[in-house]
Structure 1
Amino acid sequence: MKVTRAARAQLARDAARIRADQQRRGASVPAIAAQIIRDLPITPLEAWRLAYGWSRPHVVEAVTQVYQQDGLAPPGLTTAMLCRWEHGQARPGPDYVHALAQVYQAAPERLGVPMSLRVSGWYGHRMPQQRQEHLMPSEYPELTAVADSIALNGSGAGSGELAEHALDFYNLRYSDYPPAVLAAEVARCRSLLMNGKLRDTGTRRVSGWLSALLGNLAHHTGDASAALIHLGAASRVGIDVGDTWLAGWALGAQSMVTLSQGRPTEALELADQALTYADTSLRRAQIAAWCRLRPLAVLGNREEVARTATSARRHMDTAEDAPGRFGFDRAEFELHLAEALLAGDSVQATDHARTSVGLKRVGSPGWAAATAVLARAHAVSGAYDGAVEAGLHVLEVVPAERMRSTTQDRLRRLVADVEGCSRATELRDAVRGR
């Protein structure tokens, strides 16, 4: 039987009470964990976390530190994965079992995840004459297989073609994976290409596009500094190898990140640079809507917002949608129009946001972003209940590890938009809970 969220919350409160009672008696963490296991219907893995009084994000950070201390790349662990392990819905692989044992200072058997005797060469215990590659969780085998095949092929025949296929996979499947998980795999693939013997222009171009992906992923995980580093490298590679769209897209993404840092004038300058590389109708529509509209709106230049929106629409109407992270479609176009019009015309903003929502699959990153903007449009027009409901709906549908930082930022702005209404506290608490 599925345990409800309310029941889970009650179990956590009961565990906190047990921990406090045991601490007053001077009990050790192992003794507290044992008491929680005896009194509550939860797994040993969850009991140990609660015995320490740690949150899931704290454990994820601690596991990441274990990996880094051993010289390995950060893992793709998320709070949702840890939650599934704790609830018995999935089992951590041997690398993670070993790391969790170090974090909790307890044997795997005591955590309820004993190490199989058939497994050798797990994390921290490399097999002789073998290089232990960083293992990703088994939840995404089709993703990890991509870089694994790049590693298997090495610099053999067809390496350039394989690299192109890997790039296409990451581009088209960008929204299918949690940003932190995808970032780890894209970084692994780029590292394999850079460490290989192939240094031809094609391989360097693909590596540049992978850097662009890493920049976008860093932005979606809230790391603006890393995003600007990756995107800056990508734009320079694009210029060096003559890939004008790589140069333009990376400059456009830098504009987006710069705007998120509260620098609209610099963002507009970067957008104008990106526009010089836009050589098709779709790309002109993309740079205009994605990069120019929002900084113009922030700067309060409504006349230029109107002109840019008209130009972008003209280009969009003569173009065909292109899939993938580097592409552009009508749903994203409508999203950016809606966001740029929030302060000036809430009625049009609502219409554009509603159109964008209708073009996206419920639960997808694009749907979440458009729904958050629709909620803000409701708030601006004074429909506070509808705004709060839409914001809560996003939080209910989209798992925490799949929520992009850009959508989180929109929800935080929504909290400010509804400040003073009767349900503002409900929304604020829900957003903070993420």
Structure 2
Amino acid sequence: MTTASGLPAIRESVQWAVMDAPGGSPAVVALAEAAVEHYALNYSKHPPVVLLEEVRATRSLLSSAVAGADPSIARDLRRQVGWLSALLGNLSYHLDDRPGARAHLTLAGALGESTGEAALTAWSSGALAMVATAREDWHHAREHAQYGLQHAPEGLRRAQLLGWALLPALAALKRTPEADDIIDEGDEIMRSAVELPGRFGYDRAEHRLHVAEAHLTLERYGHAADVARESIAAAPAETPGWAAATLVLALAEARESPSQAAARALGVLDLISPPRLRATARERLTRLGRLLDSSTGGPAAELAERLRVLPAPIRPDGTAA
């Protein structure tokens, strides 16, 4: 559990540790690991813009300690700077800063390589595939996904790279047989895998979300709706994962049940405040708005108006809304 005041307290503890040992120490390394775990486990509890500021400040504190540390301590600190950079990349992506996401994730991957942290290399590659997919750069998306799979340990990590990184690109390219093979392999792994919590973890709810989105991309709307319902059932209510699965379900229903789809989206907007609404959710809402005919009135018209006045998480001057 965490609170809004507990979030900056983590950064303050790191600051005190670095003040006590400016050149780094085993205690600073242990505290850095704990900070990464805290941010990853509580990733969905804070608005992305707020968490980004805290993670950035903590990374800066650790960076200052690396310069004067002995080689073994410096390597361990660089590993945690890598994980913090991975978090910054994902947060930037959720704030619709794709170039920033690429920069942070590229650094994270490089630090994973240089410190021998295979899980960091794999995860960062998967996230880079996600960013490439968002800009419809399917070639690089597949390259990043395949590179991540080369470093991912067997089991849950492999299922994560398959479902999160490789499957979206294959579905977008309409490589249906290959996409179905990936779905089958990922499903088989998830049947026996032990789920991991947090931003760097993976669970059934997230896995089913990626499968549902693949079915949606392949225009298998009935399958997409069924699997999205499984994701909703497995996700804690009113979390970003729940919102994502609910909006995928709405997109799958939009052609046959437009009023119901619009009502689902309105429910998400009622429960998730604008600062907590990730760029990925906003993109799904925009897609849904395009599918619905708001001229007919009812929920579709209400959704169109809600989206029109939806405030962005970042103001035009770069400050948080």
TM-score, shorter chain, exceeding 0.5: yes
Match of 1:140 in 2: 4
User: Match for 1:340 among 186, 190, 214?
Assistant: 214
Q: Does 1:249 find its partner at 2:123? A: yes
Question: If the length of structure 2 is used for normalisation, what is the TM-score?
Answer: 0.89
Match of 1:149 in 2: 13
User: Is the 8 Å Cα contact of residues 247 and 277 (structure 1) preserved in structure 2?
Assistant: yes
Deviations 1:258-300 (A, max 9, x none): 1111212221221111111111210111111111111111111
Q: Does 1:168 find its partner at 2:43? A: no
User: Is the 8 Å Cα contact of residues 255 and 268 (structure 1) preserved in structure 2?
Assistant: yes
Which has the higher Rg, Structure 1 or Structure 2?
1
C-alpha displacement of 1:355 = 1.1
Once the two structures are superposed, the pairs formed by residues 252-271 of structure 1 within 5 Å of their partners are 252-271=126-145
Once the two structures are superposed, the pairs formed by residues 301-312 of structure 1 within 5 Å of their partners are 301-312=175-186
Match of 2:253 in 1: 378
C-alpha displacement of 1:420 = 6.5
Please tell me the residue identity of whatever aligns with 2:236: R
Q: CA RMSD in A?
A: 1.4
Structure 1 CA distance for aligned equivalents of residues 15 and 134 of structure 2: 36
Gap runs ≥5 in structure 2: 311-321
User: Is the 8 Å Cα contact of residues 384 and 421 (structure 1) preserved in structure 2?
Assistant: no
Q: Does 1:358 find its partner at 2:240? A: no
Deviations 1:216-259 (A, max 9, x none): 00000010000000000000110111111100100100010111
Please state whether the residue corresponding to 1:332 is helix, strand or coil.
helix
Moved over 4 A (4+): none
Match of 1:317 in 2: 191
Match of 1:203 in 2: 77
Structure 1 CA distance for aligned equivalents of residues 144 and 294 of structure 2: 37
Gap runs ≥5 in structure 1: 1-138
Once the two structures are superposed, the pairs formed by residues 25-424 of structure 1 within 5 Å of their partners are 140-154=4-18, 156=21, 157=25, 158-196=27-65, 197-198=68-69, 200-342=74-216, 343-380=218-255, 382-419=256-293, 422-423=296-297, 424=300
Deviations 1:134-174 (A, max 9, x none): xxxxx821000001011112153511111111111011111
Question: If the length of structure 1 is used for normalisation, what is the TM-score?
Answer: 0.66
Structure 2 CA distance for aligned equivalents of residues 262 and 428 of structure 1: 26
Deviations 1:7-63 (A, max 9, x none): xxxxxxxxxxxxxxxxxxxxxxxxxxxxxxxxxxxxxxxxxxxxxxxxxxxxxxxxx
Identity %: 38
**Which one has the bigger helix percentage?**
2
Please state whether the residue corresponding to 1:362 is helix, strand or coil.
coil
Match of 2:301 in 1: 425
User: Is the 8 Å Cα contact of residues 391 and 411 (structure 1) preserved in structure 2?
Assistant: yes
C-alpha displacement of 1:318 = 2.2
Aligned residues between the structures: 295
Please state whether the residue corresponding to 2:106 is helix, strand or coil.
helix
Structure 2 CA distance for aligned equivalents of residues 429 and 260 of structure 1: 26
Please tell me the residue identity of whatever aligns with 2:107: A
